[in-house]
Structure 1
């Protein structure tokens, strides 16, 4: 089987890598905690240029107004973002938010996808809750029909990109009990809606998120995405795509950490020669390279199964995320160990890359959760 990129994907990779390399300063400023000039958690100028390059459009199918949208298009884009340390919210605005609108929205709602692709609109998925852990069906926020209105009440946790979003896509239960797959609906909620309050904060690995309190928020029925109580399937589909994209982003970060470590070993002198010539360190570096190639194979495999059945997707994505989580932690820890104290300083890029690798494992399901999912799917 040929795993080489197609000509179109190679062109996309080359142009994106060149752009990210030329804008490293802006990208790295966005990853630093407490940067007052990046209150939104990313560089708005870089976001606009990504849209101009067609990067956002590459995440959507032609049917939805883009020009690609397949699994390998996602991994091509996100591997480059991970390598550059970019925190621009492509995953939240395009993969999750835009993907859900494209999957469930009516003609009027789908017009928002065009604005997303053009870089004019930001979205955030407000789905996770304090008690939900990694269970997509664990939704306690309620949606009650009162006359012509729908009233939402509840709380959402760690909503990434919420402060920058023009709309939040809020999940709420219209029927059933918490944990039931049936009965979950999604609603398009303007960020400045009455009854919606945000408490934002910086994330350890860069970017921003918010706790979202929803108290008697009133919406008209046309704010609902799709049929009442039937959003779980679309949520699972978008989550699968997001997990593959996150795995590719982590792979890119692992590549960056490994390359920084290789350069350091060839530069740092001890006893009159580069420390990379010491056999013990060569063995440790070889282990990192082996883990990196295994991670790459896992990402390719997961991307290839994005168009398969739901059960097969779940099995392969869980396997990939489990491997990426374990290999990523090893790469992060060993890179720091091989560097020594400099790797822990705020000024050195590896410290921020390592944070991103480790924290990526805690989104959508950590290594233990992914292993449990893999076992459940294997037994089904």
Structure 2
């Protein structure tokens, strides 16, 4: 095991050995995220160097920022939990979280132009960027009697297909090709639909967190843990004994997991450990998202300020945005899934 210096984030380890535990033939292989390597230094870390801006879409205050565009968002205290480009504007899930639901609306030229009601999650974009999908559900305690539905439309607008699903909470997980993966409630199962035929349930999990079109894989679990990778037909590949899986890399070859104060990057084919990264207390682990096959982004908080930081899998770290004051909605930065 080789370690390289890493300011603030302590270290990244490139592991040449698989940490898979032995399993009986009928059992799932179990990947164990890296074990602690000793106490972290207590001396204050030097400031991170400043690097390039994020190379994937994110929210900065009243702006949706992407490498090829900047789109204005409305002001106010509604906040943002998710956003995708849709029909010359944005489809935005706000931060008015109530009993598992958020508001969903279309935005154009910095204005809310059409409310789509409530959803239990954020909208998603297909890997080829041709389609967007979202879920609608009833707005709790509002007198709304809307049943749940899954929507898919061309990202350029038009061609929307709507398929009713069971009443109650429903959220889109992602795409497998152009099929939509969604989940019902907190434990109502994970389903795949082409929005033409009968949806099929994915066996072995009651919730999911991410999908990989390129690898045709789903990341899900049972109960309160997201701990396994499986194929859409339910065939299990592996699971972690501790911690939670967060998401697939863009090409699907890696999965990032969180355990205690550590990120663990696992190979999606077998769950073996590729890299471990110890996080400082100021870094919000659940904000972590992939930027590329070799970099992750996360939010770092310090004395009422927040910035986006980039973690390289080779051990380097840098700040990718300016420090900004944390606002009333918890922003101003939002890393989009």
Q: Same fold (TM over 0.5)?
A: no
Q: Which has the higher strand share?
A: 2
Q: Which has the higher helix share?
A: 1
Tell me the TM-score range normalised by the shorter chain: under 0.3
Structure-2-length-normalised TM-score: 0.28
**Greater C-alpha radius of gyration:** 1
